[in-house]
Structure 1
Amino acid sequence: MNGSTILVVDVGTSALKAVLFGPDGSILASAVEPIATRHGMNGEHEQDVEGWWRALGKVTRTLPGAGAVASMAFSGSMQNLIALHGDGRPAAPAVLYSDQRLDADEVSGLAAKLPADYGRRIGNRPDGAHTIFRLMARQRYELPATDVFWAFGAKDALTFRLTGRRVIDPTVASTTGLMDFSSRRWDRDLLGLAGVDVASLPAIEPANGIVGRITAGAAAETGLPAGIPVFNGAGDAAAATWGAMADEPGAAYCYLGTTGWVAATVHSDDDMLPRDIYTLADPVRADCAIIISPFLTAGAAMDWLSATTGQTIEKLCKRAASHDEAPGKPLFLPYLGGERAPFQDRDVRGAFLGLEQTSDAGALALAVMEGIAFAVRHNLEAAELPRSLLTAIGGGVRHPLQQQILADVLDRDIRIPADSEATTAAGIMRMVAGKAGVKADAIAQDTIVKPRPQRVQRHIRRYEAYLSATSMARTLAAGLE
């Protein structure tokens, strides 16, 4: 496949993004199709799997060059619970990682049934987002009890539909609570507790392996070439790590999409499991792992403010810039749906503090940007990630003011890749480049954002207030029922 083009599709929380890369790894074209999430009164967070398929077909039929690509690869959201029929069509809506139908007491009750060495086996302590808990209580989700196949990554549902093969990468598999971290195999004891058979689960294979080839039927529905290879790809956290050039030990980065995280690659050490920080299996190499501290609200905070004020995000950012010269007092806590890291609290909620009569939408937008940056700092400090030049990627850092505030709050240089919103796709391209006939040697011009010294001290004081307010918000959470 020398001189080939490759199409990388990222099935994110809010949109499906397709990026076409040329033989040198440069971006030739891209397209985005929105994905809707259903939020229910009982904590439901669900998506229509058939909607993913329709979104894929829409971008592949309209993206220039997609009908003649030599290969495909995928990334996507992780920790979903997806029930599929044998032909790859959905048996029920996808239950997202952010679904909150199981409360903390129910999760604790289910966790009590796990073996004492659960953390060592899977590499992480029990976490309410582990898919094993949803499987153990799947009657709560109105999911079929039998005659279904299970997928846990959004990408895996689409590769199954495209090729007829059910495959998962090690990174996504390590978020389920069902994979033995050391062997990278499904743990039979844990499968028994979850009430699933290994035959109903996808095979765990490296991200740079070929899942299969696009069938004639799938080609007819999507406009993609029949018979081209589809690479496994990896979950979004692994893809972002490689896209941020943080796939070798010693470099840290942050991702700001709908949700966010800070992460770094480390040498794998089974004797350290489970760590205090969440640990993911490297998508390709058994001797490495990705340590990650995920928080639940990043770009979603600006989405919420936009919906609440009726103003576009672009307009909010412009109004925020007008307040940046003389910022006011408003302080934002970004816990709109609970928090996962650096502390786990399903009940804590967000807040604005320090509001004044002059606090218009622009002032609130500026506070939201600062609150997101504070969440990044809080997670970086708790995770004890290396203090170095920090790469920031994702749609949440596309605005220059958010980039500058992030540099100011962290008091360090921030590297913004030239195509930040395509970084996840670029990570997948890098993983499979050697096997896909892509050289991946195109050089993009990155931006380095330096902190403003006059703002650093202000943010240090406000960060202390942020930490105190966070503690207060957690104390108050029980009284807000």
Structure 2
Amino acid sequence: MSDKTVIGIDIGTTAIKAVLVTGAGTQLGHYVESYPTARPAPGIVEQEPDDWIRVAIQALAGFERDFDLGGLQAIGICSQANTHVFIDRNATPLAPAIVWQDLRCADIAAELDGQVGAESRIAWWGAPLPIDASHCLSRMEWMRRNRPDIWGRSRAVILPKDYCIARLTGEVAADAIASIGLVDGQLNYIKALLDLVPDAVQRLPPLRDFTHVVGRVLPGLPCAGTPVIVGTMDAWSGMFGVDVGKVGSAMYLSGTSDVLGIVSPKRVPTPGVAAFPTYQEITLHAAPIQSGGASLAWLSRLLGRSIDELCVLAAAMSGQERIPLFIPHLDGERAPLWDPFARGIFLGLDSSMGPAHLVRSVMEGVAYSVTGADLVARGIPIFCES
């Protein structure tokens, strides 16, 4: 009889990562494949949802081909958060997905944010969360105003994991943790908030616990009949992956965006910090910066060298060289500033500097940015008034 196994899939900003593991946590196989991100204009960042499901199905087919999956118990999916795809009744995408880095909704977000008072924020979220350019409500209102044809045909606005689940099982659902900013402390949608955008509430999927079996893989697909779990966002999944779900634990997740997280015994409303709804006695305070690994990926494209090559350049430096200061606000900034109009800069360049100096500068700039987010997450002020 085959050992019990599970498959985990992460739909990241740049690639899908999938693993096949035993119940004891032993990895049997893994799969990684990237997909493109389109930036057709400044501030516009899009992906094709069909790329996600195509690669996810390839991963499942590979595991099915190379391993005995007779003991496969379930498939769990997590994904980048605040990347939204508008789908019709058949779960067909009506437009490219709006990626979390996209800033097109900044002005609309500021308008919506101005309609929410401080008391409502604390009552709803227990923290002074902003409605920013990546908030689902901002994307809905942008689509309603700018693409009324798509808005009229939309039946749900969902995250990448939820789209892939819909394509694998035919069922549409979401989880409350990944719906941060839309749900209250009781993990229910906030009607008074959703009423800011006409008919928004009708376009949100039903909420399920992220351990809920949302459906089974449809016939004709790899791993047909396997239960699929609704899952949650990548940062929360990462929190369990590095075993920091206990009170007093902290984490630093580094990826396209870097995230600092602290699991607190109580909720501490802190400007600039996202406080998640309490779930099973876990209250996560998180401070995500906008461009962590994304900054190094940008420099890689700029210099025409791989990230591995850039790391070699940085490692070869003595550490005594004068390094320019890099501000990594390439696509605005989230924690602790939450300013979509912030922009990056190299400060202190001179003609003696070369690619290695830029690499080191980018690495240090991200590190400084993370340090600032960390200080704010721990309640330590980093700004002074003159």
What TM-score results when the alignment is normalised by the length of structure 1?
0.72
Distance change (3 Å), C-alpha of 1:55 and 1:142 = farther
Partner secondary structure for residue 18 of structure 1? strand
Q: Deviations over 1:152-207 (max 9, x none)?
A: 32111111111122221221112xx332x222112223333222364532221221
Q: Is the 8 A contact 1:168 1:202 kept in 2?
A: yes
Q: Which of 136, 147, 151 is the aligned partner of 1:145?
A: 151
Secondary structure, aligned partner of 2:261? strand
1:281 corresponds to: 277
Task: Check whether the contact 1:241–1:264 (CA below 8 A) recurs between aligned residues.
Answer: no
User: What is the CA-CA distance between 1:134 and the residue it aligns to?
Assistant: 1.9
Is 1:71 matched up with 2:74?
yes
Does residue 1:372 correspond to 2:366, yes or no? yes
Picking from 101, 109, 130, the partner of 1:126 is 130
Alpha-carbon separation, structure 1, partners of 2:110 and 2:200: 24
Matched, 1:12 2:12: yes
**Per the alignment, do residues 324 and 89 of structure 1 end up closer, same or farther by CA in structure 2, a change over 3 Å counting?**
farther
Task: Check 1:114–1:323 CA distance in 2 against 1; reply closer, same or farther (3 A cut).
Answer: same
Tell me if structure 2 keeps the 8 A contact 1:60–1:67.
no
| Residue aligned with 1:233, SS | coil
Distance 1:72 1:281 in 2: 25
Runs of 5+ in structure 1 lacking a partner? 387-463, 472-481
Match of 1:432 in 2: none
Q: Decide whether aligned partners of structure 1 residues 139 and 86 sit closer, same or farther in structure 2, where only a CA change above 3 A counts.
A: closer
Cα deviation, 1:1-34, whole Å, max 9, x if unaligned, reads: 9941111000011111111111211211111111
- Distance in 2, Cα, partners of 1:354 & 1:60: 49
Asked if 1 retains the 8 angstrom alpha-carbon contact of 2:272 and 2:376, the reply is: no
Distance 1:22 1:288 in 2: 26
Assess, with a 3 A threshold, how the Cα gap between structure 1 residues 2 and 166 changes in structure 2: closer, same or farther. Answer: farther
Where relative contact order (Cα < 8 A, 6+ residues apart) is larger, the structure is 1
**Larger % of helix: which?**
1
Contact kept in structure 2, 1:261 and 1:294, CA below 8 Å: yes
The one-letter amino acid paired with 2:193 is L
Structure 2 residue aligned with 1:474: none
Alignment check: 8 A CA contact 1:302 1:313 kept = yes
Evaluate the alpha carbon distance shift between residue 140 and residue 312 of structure 1 in structure 2; reply closer, same or farther with a 3 A threshold: farther
1:313 equivalent among 307, 315, 339: 307
Unaligned runs of 5+ in 2: none
* Cα distance in 2 for residues equivalent to 1:195 and 1:65: 49
Alignment match, 1:135:
140
Match of 1:101 in 2: 104
1:182 aligns with 2:188: no
Measured in 2, the distance between the counterparts of 1:227 and 1:310 equals 45
Amino acid at match of 2:44: E
Partner of 1:112: 114
Q: Which residue pairs with 2:249 in the alignment? A: 251
The one-letter code matched in structure 1 to 2:275 is T
Q: How many residues align?
A: 377
Equivalent residue of 1:183, what SS? coil
CA contact (8 A) 2:325 2:365 kept: yes
Deviation at 1:356, TM superposition (A): 3.2
Displacement, 1:326? 3.0
> Does structure 1 retain, via aligned residues, the 8 Å contact 2:112–2:131?
no
Contact 2:77 2:231 survives alignment (8 Å)? yes
What RMSD over aligned residues (CA atoms) do the two structures have, in Å?
Answer: 2.6
In structure 1, what is the equivalent of residue 179 of structure 2? 173
State the distance in 1 between where 2:200 and 2:145 align: 20
Q: Report the CA distance shift for 1:71/1:38 in structure 2 as closer, same or farther (over 3 A).
A: same
Q: Describe the superposition over 1:372-404 as per-residue Cα deviations: whole angstroms up to 9, x where unpaired.
A: 111111111111179xxxxxxxxxxxxxxxxxx
Q: Does 1:357 align with 2:320?
A: no
- Among candidates 258, 262, 265, match of residue 263 of structure 2: 265
8 Å CA contact 2:270, 2:377 repeated in 1: no
* 2:342 corresponds to 1:337: no
Cα–Cα, structure 1 residues 191 and 306, in superposed 2: closer, same or farther, change >3 Å? same
1:164 to 2:170 alignment: yes
Give the superposition deviation at 1:274: 7.5
Which amino acid in structure 2 is aligned with residue 11 of structure 1? Answer: I
- String of CA shifts for 1:397-444, please: whole Å, max 9, x gaps: xxxxxxxxxxxxxxxxxxxxxxxxxxxxxxxxxxxxxxxxxxxxxxxx
Query: Shift of residue 295 of structure 1?
Result: 0.7
Amino acid at match of 1:10: D
Contact 2:296 2:359 in 1 (8 A): yes
Alpha-carbon distance in structure 2 between the residues aligned to 1:197 and 1:308? 40
Give the whole-Å Cα distance in 1 for the aligned partners of 2:111 and 2:200: 23
Residue 311 of structure 1 deviates from its aligned partner by 1.1
- The TM-score, its normalising length taken from structure 2, stands at 0.89
How far apart are the structure 2 equivalents of 1:321 and 1:353?
22
The answer on whether the counterparts of 2:276 and 2:283 sit within 8 Å (CA) in structure 1 is yes
User: In the superposition, relative to structure 1, how do residues 137 and 238 fare at CA in structure 2: closer, same or farther (>3 Å)?
Assistant: same
Deviation at 1:328, TM superposition (A): 2.6
Match of 1:231 in 2: 229
User: 1:60-108 deviations in whole A, cap 9, x for unaligned?
Assistant: 222433865331001101112221122322122111222111234x333
Pair 155,194 (structure 1): closer, same or farther in 2 beyond 3 Å: same
Report how far residue 42 of structure 1 moved: 4.7
Return the offset for 1:329: 2.6
8 Å CA contact 1:263–1:385 kept in 2: the answer is no
Structure 1 residues 311 and 274, CA gap change in structure 2 (3 angstroms): closer
Cross-structure match for 2:34: 34
Q: 2 CA distance for matches of 1:248 and 1:40?
A: 43
Cα separation, 1, equivalents of 2:59 and 2:32? 7
Distance 1:355 1:202, change over 3 A: same
Q: Is the 8 A contact 1:60 1:66 kept in 2?
A: no
Cα 1:17–1:30 change in 2 (3 A) is same
